[in-house]
Amino acid sequence: MPVYPSVGDATIQLGLYSTADQKRLVLNGQDMGQRAYKVAKFQLLPQTENVFTVFKDGWHAAEAAEHNPSVEWQWTKREATLAFKNPKKDSIFYLDADNPGSVFQQTQQVKVTLGGLQLDQFPITPKQQVLRKIPVSAAQLGTNDMVELQISVDKTFVPALIPAANSKDPRELGIRVFHAFVQPK
């Protein structure tokens, strides 16, 4: 692993050499090129100093991918609040989110605010996962022991109200959040 912190998708590849002629052996598996085979794929998450995060108002229960239960997310509503212990120093807020774009094909504008101050605003385009690294200064965090950060979207949808969704899901859905972390610098 590199010395600097990495965040995102990672793949482990393996290749075996023959002791007789030092050539790579052919194996069963997904060949990634040069007889290197994919062994595992996973997500590297930001390292934290145990900044405890609470998903407060505006969140739906956690869900997992049907064919890969290690992939989890939570949907927001139009507005969602995260509370966390104030690290009282400059930090980075990591927000890993998407709009899966199955039936809701509109780009959404996302705002991240802290105490009424806008920290970031960005679009989420359907079918494109976004990892935002949002700097938050110690001054913006203030002096309280707990801090509340808001995530809001300009457009939401209700799957049950979209005929093409063929769904009975009555929830108001904003964006799908895979990870939300605060990492002190």
Distance of CA 65 to the CA centre of its chain: 14
Give me the DSSP letters along 104-133: ----EEEEEEETTEEEEEEEE-TT--EEEE
Confidence of residue 18 (pLDDT cuts 50, 70, 90): confident
Under DSSP, is residue 79 helix (H, G, I), strand (E, B) or coil?
strand
Enumerate the H helices of 11-131 as residue ranges: none
Q: With 70 as the cut, is the pLDDT of residue 88 above it? A: yes
Instruction: Decide if pLDDT at 4 tops 80.
Output: no
Summarised one tens digit per residue, pLDDT across range 96-145 is 999 987 778 889 999 999 999 999 999 999 999 999 999 999 999 999 99
Q: What's the pTM value of the predicted model, to 2 decimals?
A: 0.72
CA distances from 146 to 52, 53, 64, 85 (A): 10, 10, 29, 5
Q: Are 184 and 91 in contact (CB under 8 A)?
A: yes
Q: Are 153 and 78 in contact (CB under 8 A)?
A: yes
Separation between Cα atoms, residue 113 and residue 156, nearest integer Å: 18
Q: How many residues does the chain have?
A: 185
Taking the C-alpha atoms of residue 82 and residue 80, their distance in angstroms, rounded to an integer, is 7
- H-helix or E-strand containing 82? strand 79-85
